[in-house]
């Protein structure tokens, strides 16, 4: 359950930043968003969580492919339409990485441009 542990740490970190967790593992056909959160100003944030315990397999950020970002974008758009009823709300995508042990590794948040 390492993936679930990484997502739990990510959710705790984002909650500590003042965000409310709205959904975990939001799935659509062909895509998924690990965490959907809302900032105090109402901005929705769609977060992909990536963890790498060992640098021998590369850093966590290196595992995010252009295809994954496209699927993430599609899932975020679907969330906006299905759950919010519109697609023009303030929102953004990000990748949260953990390199090293889940409970003590380096955690970084990367905005997706």
Alpha-carbon distance of 64 to 50, in angstroms, equals 8
* pLDDT for residue 56: 79
Question: Residue 54 belongs to a domain with what CATH number?
Answer: 3.40.1350.10
pLDDT averaged over 10-residue windows placed end to end, the chain, 113 residues: 86 98 94 96 97 86 92 95 96 96 94 89
| Angle (CA) 43 46 50, round 5° | 145
* pLDDT for residue 1: 52
* pLDDT for residue 86: 95
- Structural domains counted in the chain: 1
Domain hosting residue 54, numbered range: 2-111
* pLDDT for residue 57: 76
Phi then psi for residue 109, to 5 deg, are -115, 125
Instruction: Catalogue the E-assigned strands of the chain.
Output: 20-28, 31-38, 44-52, 91-99, 106-111
What distance lies between CA 22 and its chain's CA centroid? 12
């Amino acid at each position: 359950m390492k993936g679930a542990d990484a997502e739990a740490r990510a959710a705790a970190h984002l909650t500590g930043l003042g965000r409310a967790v709205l959904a975990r593992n939001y799935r659509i056909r062909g895509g998924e968003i690990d965490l959907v959160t809302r900032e105090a100003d109402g901005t929705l944030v769609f977060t992909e969580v990536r963890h790498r315990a060992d640098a021998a397999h590369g850093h966590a950020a290196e595992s995010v492919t252009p295809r994954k970002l496209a699927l993430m974008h599609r899932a975020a758009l679907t969330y906006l339409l299905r759950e919010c009823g519109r697609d023009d709300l303030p929102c953004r995508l990000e990748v949260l990485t953990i390199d090293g042990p889940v409970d003590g590794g380096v955690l970084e948040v990367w905005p997706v441009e």
